[in-house]
Amino acid sequence: MENLSNYDQYLTMAINWFWDFAPTFAFTLIILVAGLWFIRLINRFVRKFFEKADYDPALESFLMQIISVGLKVILFVAVVTQLGVKSSSLLAVLGSAGLAIGLALQGSLANFAGGILILFFKPFRVGDWISAQGVDGTVKEITIFTTKLNTFGNQLAIIPNAQLSNNNIINFNAEETRRDKIDVGISYGSNIKKAKDILLEICQEKTTILKDPEPQVFVGELADSSVNLTLRFWAKNEDFWEAHFFVMEELKSRFDKANIEIPFPQRVVHKA
């Protein structure tokens, strides 16, 4: 009977605690739901503001993530405080947790700092074609911790910002124009001047190849089995690859018509 009496006493205490805490819990739940709705509303407003303003897309994405995370942290503090946790105790816990998390996530903090450096110094922008960390691709998005690239094969490459900010980067879109270098070998019996004239004619006929600076052709090497010619020309970034492939195809076709031989390895098999 005594155990049953204690059970009834604990049950009564639990029910009383629940009814005492219920209004606080309900109000806290309202704050949480309203806070999340308000955060979504602010994020939508910020997104529309950035769409109308002429800001760097990378900076827009970065700031939107910072604003979203900051607002959620404020909401968390408000919810926990409403549940009865003292703000001084909460700050002490958050400080200790922040130190522990900071030590555990040093790499993430380095990536965060790297993202800030990338946005500040702008070694590349969204839409640029870059080569970094053994990956070539178009910059799709710069986030808080990583940079996302779309490779030539349409794969998504994710590179930590710390590595990008502390290592070599080649930005192929940093300049408006780009120089191509094509090496082609001809046989020692072929007419060098005629081959050079053909290469220059191709460049003159192709409108996307810039005429200033002028295309250049010169003998780059007297190799074992060929005379290697080097063609250099300039083109705008958006025309570069189209011009490159055009020249490669045309030089082979016109060399064949002019009986200019392009040497290639051959193997002769003699029957015993």
Domain-embedded: residue 264: no
Domain-embedded: residue 266: no
Helices marked H in 122-230 — which ranges? 161-166, 192-205
Q: What is the CATH number of the domain that holds 119?
A: 2.30.30.60
Residue 31 is encoded by which pair of tokens?
A: 């704050």
Please report how the helices 106-121 and 87-104 are oriented relative to each other, as an axis angle in degrees rounded to 10: 80
Tell me, yes or no, whether 213 and 246 share the same domain: yes
Strands (E), the chain: 129-132, 135-142, 146-151, 156-160, 170-171, 177-186, 216-222, 227-236
Q: Cβ(90)–Cβ(132) under 8 Å? A: no
Q: What predicted TM-score, i.e. pTM, was given to this entire model?
A: 0.61
Chain segment 212-258, per-residue pLDDT in tens: 999 999 999 999 889 999 999 999 999 999 999 999 999 999 999 99
Tell me, yes or no, whether 193 and 137 share the same domain: no
Tell me, yes or no, whether 135 and 212 share the same domain: no
Tell me, yes or no, whether 144 and 88 share the same domain: no
What is the chain's pLDDT, residue by residue, as a tens digit (272 residues)? 445 555 666 566 666 656 665 676 777 777 778 878 887 888 888 777 777 766 666 667 777 777 777 777 777 777 777 766 665 555 565 666 555 555 445 567 788 888 888 888 888 988 899 999 999 999 998 888 899 999 999 999 999 998 888 889 999 998 999 999 999 999 999 999 999 999 999 999 999 999 999 999 999 999 988 999 999 999 999 999 999 999 999 999 999 999 999 987 756 555 65
Domain-embedded: residue 262: no
Tell me, yes or no, whether 100 and 160 share the same domain: no
Task: Show the domain range for 150.
Answer: 114-171
* Domain count along the chain: 3
Please report how the helices 57-82 and 106-121 are oriented relative to each other, as an axis angle in degrees rounded to 10: 140
Tell me, yes or no, whether 159 and 130 share the same domain: yes
What burial class does residue 46 get, using C-beta atoms within 10 Å of its C-beta: 0-12 exposed, 13-18 middle, 19+ buried? middle
Q: What is the CATH number of the domain that holds 251?
A: 3.30.70.100
Tell me, yes or no, whether 149 and 131 share the same domain: yes
Q: What is the CATH number of the domain that holds 50?
A: 1.10.287
Tell me, yes or no, whether 235 and 182 share the same domain: yes
Tell me, yes or no, whether 49 and 79 share the same domain: yes
What burial class does residue 183 get, using C-beta atoms within 10 Å of its C-beta: 0-12 exposed, 13-18 middle, 19+ buried? exposed
